Structures are given as structure tokens and as C-alpha cells.
Amino acid sequence: MQLLQNVSLKPYNTFGIDIPAAHFIEVSSVDMLPAVTDATAGMHRRVLGGGSNVLLTQPVTGAVIYNNIKGIHKDKEDDNHVWLTVNAGEVWHSFVMYAIANGWAGVENLALIPGTVGAAPIQNIGAYGIEAKETIESVTAWHWEDKRFYTYSNFECTFGYRDSIFKHQLKDKVFITSVTFKLNKKPSFNTTYGAIEQELHKMGITELSIQAIADAVIAIRTSKLPDPKQIGNAGSFFKNPTIPIAQFNNLKQQHPNIPSYPVDAQTIKVPAGWLIEQCGWKGYRRGDTGVHEKQALVLVNYGHAIGSEVWQLSGDILQSVEDKFGIVLEREVQVW
Ligand SMILES: Cc1cc2nc3c(=O)[nH]c(=O)nc-3n(C[C@H](O)[C@H](O)[C@H](O)COP(=O)(O)OP(=O)(O)OC[C@H]3O[C@@H](n4cnc5c(N)ncnc54)[C@H](O)[C@@H]3O)c2cc1C
């Protein structure tokens, strides 16, 4: 175990922000955790996975615990399901591909989401009509203060839209070490969301399969989202806001084209990207930061942006959306 000092986090975040961490330690096995806990006693500990959902705005004074715990274990199976425990450092997309290769369904719509398996429960990652919570059976985590492992059931994780207990009561209190998934041996396909059906048609797919769905999702995502290897970004910077139906009806009178997705009898979801675009931000550039030209929900680093510039731009966007629509956007990205 090596506790490093003053390590640049540039290679460890997809925004490509160059900020140092005062202390940095890589964890490759759960057995290391008691010693890591002692070595970082008194420090603010933050776990880092793929760094694809963080914005680094200032030097990290505490310890960054870099999660590199690998391994996938099949716990049990019956005629319909298989239960897999996946260690937190596995790359999410590799896990999706592994599941597909074995014919296990449930995560194919979540193909190509960057990051690690351990971070998936934190914001209950979602895409193309599916959320991680639908397949997560339980989450196991090391509690820094109690110095022991806990297993949280799906119910105890209190999953919501891009939300869970790990963003609230357990924020920076635990290191998620593994996630147990329940996958289906007999898939029910979900192709209704977004452009999946169109893409399948374009690809000439006549027989639906989980591989075909993943291929369609990968093709759509590749055409729509900037690759962090080319332009620094953290995917959607803001959450899609949920607003009362009465407020939506008022807005619809002024903006007849406003898109929406039903949530429940009282509320409705509005795409944040549309709101931002209406405020004129799409393709906007300020120095080395800006709003992506194809996707207004994605803030980018063209090269040498610093975190505080991205933060400032996100604040200006937030303000303009509030001024124009009376809707307060919430940042999806974790700000350090
Ligand atoms: C191009 C692009 C597209 C994206 N598309 C989507 C999408 O479609 N849907 C979606 O939901 N998200 C999307 N994201 C966001 C991101 O991929 C997910 O949030 C992902 O789960 C983050 O994983 P990570 O390992 O990179 O987490 P990190 O960025 O390393 O960490 C995120 C937060 O989780 C905490 N954390 C990470 N791992 C652990 C752990 N093991 N234990 C405790 N805390 C931990 C960190 O402290 C931090 O606060 C996208 C990002 C990019 C760059």
C-alpha cells in the first residue's frame, strides 16, 4: 500500500481538469481497507472511480481513494435469473458486455456509460428507459468510521432519479466495494425509449436480442455524445427537472413546443437540454470551456479549462434558465 502525496488528478477525471490531491492511494483489494483507513485517519476521504461524474474545482486537501478492485463472481442462478457480485473497480461497460456475452439481460440499455460498477448505484445510472436500480439486488460497502462492511438492500439504497442514499446520509462515509445484480435469463426487451427502434431499423436488425439493443445504444451514444478522450466532459451536467403539472401548463402557453415526459399525476419531467438550448447556450464557448455544440446538457473542456470556470459557466446557465422559465436546475455532476 502506497500513500502518495500531491498527485495530479488530470488522468483520473474525464473533464481532464488538472488539480492535485494532497494524498492519493490506490485500493486493489478489500483486504487493504483496514490499513487504508488507518493510514488516512483524520483526512476527508473521497473515493474516485472513473472520474466521469466529478468536477474538480479546487485542490483536494484530503485523501483520494482510487478504486481498482476487480472481479466478477456468480453467486447463484435459477431457471429465470442469475445473481452476480461485481467488484466496484470493474469498468461498467465491460460488465455490460460480459453480461451480454453470457446471455444475461437487464443492463444492455446501459451500454457505454463510462465509469465503474461501484459508482453505478451512487446516482442510479440510467439511460434509454432503464435505471441501474432495476437490476441491483444489494450494495456492499466499507464504512470508514465503523471500520466494517455493510450490505444495503435495494430498498435501503433509496434509489431515485439519479439519486440514492450514497449521495446523502452516506456521502463520503463509505467505499462501495461490490454490487450484486440480478439479471434475467429470459429477457424482456425495452426498445421504446429514444431512437432505439429507429436505430435497430437502420442497422437492419429483424431479430431482437440484447446484443442488438446494446449495439443500437452504442451507435446512438457514439453519434450524440462527445468522447471524453477527444473533448473533456462528464456527460449530462444537469438533471432533467421535475415540475408541478400546473407550472408546466403555464409554461406550455408561452412555449407551445416545450417537450415533456410524464412522471406521475402531479409532476412532469422537462428535458434540461431543451431549456438550456432555448436560453441560447448550445455551442457557446468561453475561453476553454463551453456547452457542447450537439448536446446542450454537456459542458466541455476544450483543453485547459479550470474547474472554477466550468463551475461559473454552469452557474450562469442555471441562472438564465431560472430567469426565463422559473425552473431551478440541479447539477448532476459531483462537485469537489
Ligand atoms: C460521456 C459521458 C456519458 C455519460 N452518460 C451517462 C448516462 O447515460 N447515464 C448516467 O447515469 N450517467 C452518465 N454519465 C455519468 C457517469 O458515467 C456515471 O455517473 C458513472 O456512474 C460515474 O462513474 P465513475 O466511476 O466515473 O464515478 P466517479 O466520477 O469516479 O465518482 C462519482 C461520485 O461517486 C463517488 N464514488 C465513485 N465510486 C465510489 C465508490 N466505489 N464508493 C463510494 N463512492 C464512490 C465519488 O466520490 C464521486 O462523488 C456519463 C458520463 C460521461 C463522461
Mean pLDDT of 187-207: 89
Q: Could you read off the pLDDT of 100-156 as tens digits, one per residue? A: 999 999 999 999 999 999 999 999 999 999 999 999 999 999 999 999 999 999 999
Distance, in Å, from the CA atom of 270 to the CA atom of 242, rounded to the nearest integer, reads 6
Q: Provide the β-strand partners of residue 7.
A: 21
Distance, in Å, from the CA atom of 9 to the CA atom of 50, rounded to the nearest integer, reads 11
- pTM above the 0.75 mark? yes
At residue 183, does pLDDT exceed 90? Answer: yes
> Is residue 63 domain-resident?
yes
In this structure, the answer to whether residues 47 and 77 fall within a common structural domain is no
In this structure, the answer to whether residues 242 and 291 fall within a common structural domain is yes
Name the residue type at position 246.
A
> Is residue 202 domain-resident?
no
CA 278 to chain centre: 25
Q: Could you read off the pLDDT of 87-99 as tens digits, one per residue? A: 999 999 999 999 9
At residue 206, does pLDDT exceed 90? Answer: no
> Is residue 56 domain-resident?
yes
- Interval between CA 265 and ligand 1 midpoint (Å): 31
Q: What is the mean pLDDT of the chain?
A: 96
Q: What is the 3-state secondary structure (H, E, C) of 158-190?
A: CCECCECHHHCCCCCCEEEEEEEEEEECCCCCC
> End of a domain among 67, 86, 102?
67
> Is residue 48 domain-resident?
yes
> End of a domain among 67, 90, 105?
67
Task: Kindly give the number of the ligand 1 atom that is closest to the alpha carbon of 225.
Answer: 1
In this structure, the answer to whether residues 177 and 147 fall within a common structural domain is yes
pLDDT > 90 in the chain, percent: 96
Q: Can you give the pLDDT at residue 9?
A: 98
Q: Could you read off the pLDDT of 160-179 as tens digits, one per residue? A: 999 999 999 999 999 999 99
> End of a domain among 40, 67, 94?
67
At residue 276, does pLDDT exceed 80? Answer: yes
Q: Is 156 a catalytic residue?
A: no
Q: Could you read off the pLDDT of 288-307 as tens digits, one per residue? A: 999 999 999 999 999 999 99
Q: Can you give the pLDDT at residue 195?
A: 87
In this structure, the answer to whether residues 77 and 166 fall within a common structural domain is yes
At residue 193, does pLDDT exceed 90? Answer: no
Number of domains in the chain: 3
Q: Can you give the pLDDT at residue 240?
A: 96
In this structure, the answer to whether residues 79 and 164 fall within a common structural domain is yes
Q: Can you give the pLDDT at residue 1?
A: 83
Distance, in Å, from the CA atom of 188 to the CA atom of 292, rounded to the nearest integer, reads 34
In this structure, the answer to whether residues 278 and 311 fall within a common structural domain is yes
Secondary structure of residue 100 in the 3-state scheme = helix
Q: Could you read off the pLDDT of 17-66 as tens digits, one per residue? A: 999 999 999 999 999 999 999 999 999 999 999 999 999 999 999 999 99
Which residue's CA is the nearest one to ligand 1's atom 15? 53
192 close to 147: Cβ distance less than 8 angstroms: no
At residue 194, does pLDDT exceed 80? Answer: no
Domain that holds residue 306: 232-335
CATH code, domain with 261 = 3.90.78.10
At residue 192, does pLDDT exceed 90? Answer: no
CATH code, domain with 49 = 3.30.43.10
Q: Can you give the pLDDT at residue 332?
A: 96
Intra-chain end-to-end CA distance of the chain, in Å: 25
Which protein residues are within 6 Å of ligand 1, measured from CB?
Answer: 14, 46-54, 67, 88, 113-116, 118-120, 122-123, 125-127, 174-176, 225, 228, 233-235, 334
In this structure, the answer to whether residues 114 and 63 fall within a common structural domain is no
In this structure, the answer to whether residues 54 and 154 fall within a common structural domain is no
Distance, in Å, from the CA atom of 307 to the CA atom of 6, rounded to the nearest integer, reads 18
Q: Can you give the pLDDT at residue 239?
A: 96
Catalytic residue among 138, 178, 236, 314: 236
